[in-house]
A and B are shown apart, each in its own frame.
Chain A
Amino acid sequence: MQAAKTEIQLDPQAETLMSRLRQDFGERVLAEQLTCDGIPTVWVDRQHIQGLLQSLKNETQPKFEMLFDITAIDERLRSNRDGQPLSEFTVVYHLMSFTGNCDIRVKVPLKDRDLSLPTIVDIWPNANWYERETWDMFGIQFDGHPNLYRIVLPPTWKGHALRKEHPARATEMEPFSLDQEAGDIEQEALKFNPEEWGMQRESENSEFMFLNLGPNHPSVHGAFRIALQLDGEILVDAVPDIGYHHRGAEKMGERQSWHTFIPYTDRIDYLGGVLNNLPYVMAVEKMAGIQVPERVKVIRIMLSEMFRICSHLLFYGTFAQDVGQLSPIFYMFVERERIFNIIESICGARMHPGWFRIGGVAQDLPNGWETRVQDILDFMPARLDEYDSMVMNNGILKRRTQGIGAYDTQTAFDWGVTGAGLRATGLEWDFRKQRPYSGYENFEFDVPIAVNGDCYDRCAVRVEEMRQSLRIIKQCLDNMPSGHYKSDHPLTTPPRKENTMQDIETLINHFLSVSWGPVIPPNEVTVAVEATKGINSYYLVSDGSTNSYRTRIRTPSFAHLQMIPTMSRGFMVPDLIAIIASIDFVMADVDR
C-alpha cells in the first residue's frame, strides 16, 4: 500500500471508514490510493464490487446514499501510476454521503481483452445511464444491465470515443459525408422501438400511442427526445433519448492544454458562464498546489453568483412560458441583459467569458466596477418581488405545478438529484454551505428549501436562491479584499509578468508556460461546485504532462434527465412539460 504522495493525509472520518473497510473486506481490497483531493480511494476486484458498494450504501458508517458518478479511465498509455494495481481500463465509482458529508471512490481494474463487470443498477437505479455511457465511451460491458445501448453517441457509431486509440479530431478521421443511403440508415436507427425498452404496444382496453416528443420540440430546451407511451393523454411510460448535443468535451479535455481547455468549460452549462470555469480551475490548482489570493476568491464568487442569477432568471421565465404564461420571459430577459452588460464590462464577454485562469482571473476588476455592481443590487429586489406576484402567486400556475412531478429526498438520492431539485424535497444541502470552497465560508447566506418536492417548489427554491445570491454579491461588494488578481505560483497561467524581464528563472517559466502550457504534476483530483443546476464536478487525471490524461465532467442535468420517467408516469402531457421546465437543464450540460 503505497501512497502516491506522502504529504496527503485522510481526515479522521475517512480513516475510520477505511479501517472498517480493511477489516470487513480484508484482502478483497486490492489497494488504497491517495489523491490530492483527500477522497479515499479503494481498488477492488470486479467480483467484489457489488458487495462492497452494497455495504457502502447500507452498512458502513457513514452510509453513502448517492451514486454520484460512474466513469472509466483508459490506463494503457498512462505512465505515472505508482502503487496502483495493474489495469488497462479502470472503472471508477464515485459515491457521496450526505449524513457523513464525505465522498469515496471505488476503482475496478479490468483487462482490455475481458472488459466486463457486473451491473449495479439494482443497487442504485441511476447507475443505468452512467453504465450505458461508460459502455458507449469505453466499450466496457456491464453484465446484467437491462438496456446496455449507446446513449450519447449515435447507435450507428463505430468504436468507443474515449479510448485512447479513437481519434480526437475530425482531421484524423475520414471526411464526413451523409449520402441518401447512409442517411436512411441513420434515420432508421433513430426509430423508437417500444419492445426494445420492454414496453407493451397495447393494454387490455386500449392501444397505446407512441409519441416522439423531440428532438425538435418547443419545450425540450434544445435537441432532446423523449419517446412517450401514451394512453390518451396519460403518460404510461417515457424513454428519454439524449446525445443530440454531444460535442466530445471530455475528449477535448485530453487534447487541449490545461490552460486552453478553460473556454470549453464555459460551454458545458452554457447558461452558467464562468461558474463552469470554477471547478475546473480549482481542480487544476489543487494538483498544482496553487493557493490563490483572497481577492481572486471573492472576484470568482461575485462573478459566479451573477451567473447564477442570470441562469435562474432564464429558468424562471421559461418555466412560466412552458405553462403558457407569455410575458414573464420578456421581463426577465431585460434583467438578464442588464446583468450581462455588467458582466461584459468586467470580463469583456457576456455569456461565455472564459475568464477564470489557473491561479487567478484574467484581469483585475475595472475602475468603477463598484457602481455597476451596485446597480444590480438596486434594481433586482423590486423586480423579483414583482415577479412573485406575477408568476408565483398566479392561481392557474399554482394549479398547473403544485403536486406535479413530486418526489421525496430518498428518491432524489436514488437518482443522483442535486441542486434545487434536492433542496425542494426539504433537505438543506448546498455544496457552498456543506463543503465551502473558494471562501464561501466567509459569506452569510441562507439555503432556501421547500417541502413538497414538486414543480412549484423547485421553482420557489430557485427564486429564493436569487435573493441569496444578491446577498452574496452585496458582501463581495462591501468586502472586496485588495491584492493581486493572480497567484505568484510559477504554474499560474499566464504567469505574472512583473519579474520576467528581471530574472532568467521567471522568464523561462513564463516562456514555457505560454508556449507549451503548464506541466501539472501527476495526480488525480475531483472538485465539485454548486453550479446553477446542481453539483457539477471535474475529475481530472494528470500524467505529468501539458494536458490532462482524463477529464471527466459530471454534470447535474445528466442525472436529472434520467429521472423524467419516474417523475412523470401517470401524469398528462401538459404536466410533463411543466416537469421538464421545472428540472432546469440545458442539453449541453447533459451531453457534454
Chain B
Amino acid sequence: MAFEIGSGITIAAILGVVIVVAAMLIWVERRLLSLWQERLGPNRVGWFGLLQVVADMIKIFTKEDWIPPFADRFTFVLAPAIIMTVILLSFGVIPFAPNIGVIDSNLGVLFVLAMASLGAYSVMLAGLASDNKYALLGALRAAAQMISYEVFMGISLLGVVALAGSFNLREIVLSQAEGWYVIPQFIGFIIFLIAGIAESHRLPFDIPEAEQEICAGYHTEYSGMKFGMFFVGEYLGLVLISSLITVLFFGGWMGAAFLPPIVWFSIKAGGFIAFFILLRAAIPRPRYDQLMTYGWLFLLPVSLLNLLITGAIILSVQ
C-alpha cells in the first residue's frame, strides 16, 4: 500500500482508524477495568465481548434524539460537534509514521494547543446551553480546570520545543534519533501527563462530570448520539494525549527495525492508553479547588523552572 503524507487514502485511513480505535476503547476500558476489579466485564456479545461496541453503537444511534425544551437548541447541538471536530483536527498534525500523516506543519505543537483551547468551549457551551444547574456547575468547573491546565500543558512542552528547535512534530520525532526526550525532559513529561489527564477530564480529574457530585456535569441533559459524541470525544482525547506523549517524549514511531514504524507508534500509544485506564481504576478524585491550588502553586512554578533550566543548559552548551 502506498501511504504518503497528505494523500486521500492516508487521510481516510487515519480518520477511520482513529474513530474505530476510540470506539473500541469503550470495550477495552471496560474489560481492563473489570480485569483489575475482580470481575468479568462485557463478555457476552461476540468473541470476548468484542461486538459489545457494535451493540452499543446500534443502541445509541437508534435512541430518540431528544433536546430538552428549555435548552438553547443551536448551542446544545453545536457543543458536542465542537469537541469531535477539534480533536479530530488535532490528529491532522500527528506524525504516525514517516509516511503516515495528514499535514506536515511547522506549527504542529501550537496547532494542538490551539485546538485544545477550543475544546474547552465545547464543554462550557454544553453546560450553559443545557440550562440545568448540574450542567452549569460542571461547565464552571470545566472552564476553571481546562483553562488553567492548558497553561501548564503549554509550558511543559516548551522544553521539548527548545531541545528540538522546532514546533514541527515530525521534526521533533526525528530529532529524538539519539535519545528520547523523556530523559532530559522528565519533569516536562510528568507535567504534560498530568495536564493531559486534566485536559481530557478523565478520572482522577473528571471533575467537570464527577458523577458522585454533579450527576454527569456538563452532559447531564445529553442523550442519544449527542451524548455519544461526548463519550467518543473523551476517548478520542485519550488517544490524542497518548499519541502526543509518544511523539513528544518517546520518539514517536522510532524503534528497532524488526517492527514497522506504525506498529511501534501503536505500541507506545497503546501503553499510555492502558496507563490512563489504570489510573482511573486506582486513584480517587481530588476536590476541584485542590486541583486548582495544585496546578497554580506547584505545577506552574515547576514547569517554569523546568523551562528556565532547559534554556540555560542549551545556552551554555552552545
A residues sitting closer than 8 Å to B (CB atoms) are: 209, 211, 217-219, 232-233, 320-327, 330-331, 334, 394, 396-397, 399-400, 572-575, 577
Docked CA distance A325–B210 (Å): 11
Q: Flag whether B290 is at the interface (Cβ < 8 A).
A: yes
Could you say which residues of chain B place their CB within 8 Å of the CB of A326?
A: 33, 37, 203, 280-281
Establish whether residues A322 and B212, one from each chain, have CB atoms under 8 Å apart when the complex forms: yes
Which A residue's beta carbon lies closest to that of B289?
A572
With A219-B213, A233-B137, A573-B213 as contacts: A324 and B37 at CB distance below 8 Å = no
Mark interface residues in B204-244 (1 if CB within 8 Å of A CB, else 0). Answer: 10100011111100000000000000000000000000000
Establish whether residues A324 and B210, one from each chain, have CB atoms under 8 Å apart when the complex forms: yes
Q: Flag whether B283 is at the interface (Cβ < 8 A).
A: yes
Which of these, A217, A396, A574, A575, contacts B204 with CB under 8 Å? Answer: A396
Q: List, sorted by A's number, 27 A–B pairs whose CB atoms are closer than 8 Å.
A: A211-B134, A218-B212, A233-B140, A323-B284, A324-B204, A324-B210, A324-B212, A324-B284, A324-B285, A325-B283, A325-B284, A326-B33, A326-B280, A326-B281, A327-B282, A331-B37, A331-B38, A334-B38, A394-B284, A396-B204, A399-B286, A399-B287, A400-B284, A400-B290, A573-B137, A574-B285, A574-B288
Count, chain B residues at interface, CB 8 A: 29
Which B residue's beta carbon lies closest to that of A325?
B284
Which B residue's beta carbon lies closest to that of A220?
B212
**Most interface-central of A397, A573, A577 (chain B CB within 10 A):** A573
Could you say which residues of chain A place their CB within 8 Å of the CB of B204?
A: 324, 396
With A324-B210, A326-B281 as contacts: A574 and B287 at CB distance below 8 Å = yes
Which A residue's beta carbon lies closest to that of B286?
A396
Which A residue's beta carbon lies closest to that of B280?
A326
Docked CA distance A325–B212 (Å): 10
**Most interface-central of B204, B213, B215, B281 (chain A CB within 10 A):** B213
Which A residue's beta carbon lies closest to that of B136?
A209
Establish whether residues A209 and B284, one from each chain, have CB atoms under 8 Å apart when the complex forms: no
Q: Whole-angstrom distance from the CB of A574 to the nearest CB of chain B?
A: 5
Q: Whole-angstrom distance from the CB of A264 to the nearest CB of chain B?
A: 31
Q: Whole-angstrom distance from the CB of A15 to the nearest CB of chain B?
A: 53
Could you say which residues of chain A place their CB within 8 Å of the CB of B37?
A: 326-327, 330-331
Establish whether residues B210 and A574, one from each chain, have CB atoms under 8 Å apart when the complex forms: yes
Docked CA distance A326–B290 (Å): 19
Which A residue's beta carbon lies closest to that of B133?
A211
Q: Whole-angstrom distance from the CB of B133 to the nearest CB of chain A?
A: 5
Could you say which residues of chain B place their CB within 8 Å of the CB of A324?
A: 203-204, 206, 210, 212, 283-285
With A574-B287, A575-B287 as contacts: A327 and B281 at CB distance below 8 Å = yes
Q: Whole-angstrom distance from the CB of B33 to the nearest CB of chain A?
A: 7
Could you say which residues of chain B place their CB within 8 Å of the CB of A232?
A: 140
B residues sitting closer than 8 Å to A (CB atoms) are: 33, 36-39, 133-134, 137, 140, 203-204, 206, 210-215, 280-290
Which of these, B39, B210, B280, B284, contacts A320 with CB under 8 Å? Answer: B284
Q: Whole-angstrom distance from the CB of B126 to the nearest CB of chain A?
A: 18
Q: Whole-angstrom distance from the CB of A461 to the nearest CB of chain B?
A: 20
Could you say which residues of chain B place their CB within 8 Å of the CB of A320?
A: 284
Q: Whole-angstrom distance from the CB of B21 to the nearest CB of chain A?
A: 23
Which B residue's beta carbon lies closest to that of A331?
B38
Please name 10 further chain A to chain B contacts, defined as beta carbons within 8 Å, in addition to the given A211-B134, A394-B284, A399-B290, sorted by A numbering: A218-B211, A218-B212, A324-B203, A325-B282, A326-B203, A327-B33, A330-B37, A334-B38, A572-B287, A574-B285
Docked CA distance A319–B286 (Å): 14
Could you say which residues of chain B place their CB within 8 Å of the CB of A233?
A: 137, 140, 288
Docked CA distance A331–B210 (Å): 22
Establish whether residues A209 and B286, one from each chain, have CB atoms under 8 Å apart when the complex forms: no
Q: Whole-angstrom distance from the CB of A50 to the nearest CB of chain B?
A: 42
Could you say which residues of chain A place their CB within 8 Å of the CB of B284?
A: 320, 323-325, 394, 396-397, 400
Docked CA distance A218–B212 (Å): 6
Q: Whole-angstrom distance from the CB of B221 to the nearest CB of chain A?
A: 15
**Most interface-central of A211, A232, A233, A320 (chain B CB within 10 A):** A233
10 pairs of A and B residues whose beta carbons are closest in the complex = A324-B285, A325-B284, A330-B37, A324-B284, A219-B212, A574-B287, A323-B284, A396-B284, A322-B212, A397-B284
Q: Whole-angstrom distance from the CB of B297 to the nearest CB of chain A?
A: 14
Which A residue's beta carbon lies closest to that of B33?
A326
Docked CA distance A334–B40 (Å): 12
Q: Whole-angstrom distance from the CB of A227 to the nearest CB of chain B?
A: 12
Q: Whole-angstrom distance from the CB of A76 to the nearest CB of chain B?
A: 48
Could you say which residues of chain A place their CB within 8 Å of the CB of B288?
A: 233, 574
Establish whether residues A323 and B285, one from each chain, have CB atoms under 8 Å apart when the complex forms: yes
Docked CA distance A573–B210 (Å): 11
Q: Whole-angstrom distance from the CB of A221 to the nearest CB of chain B?
A: 11
Which A residue's beta carbon lies closest to that of B290?
A399
Could you say which residues of chain B place their CB within 8 Å of the CB of A394?
A: 283-284
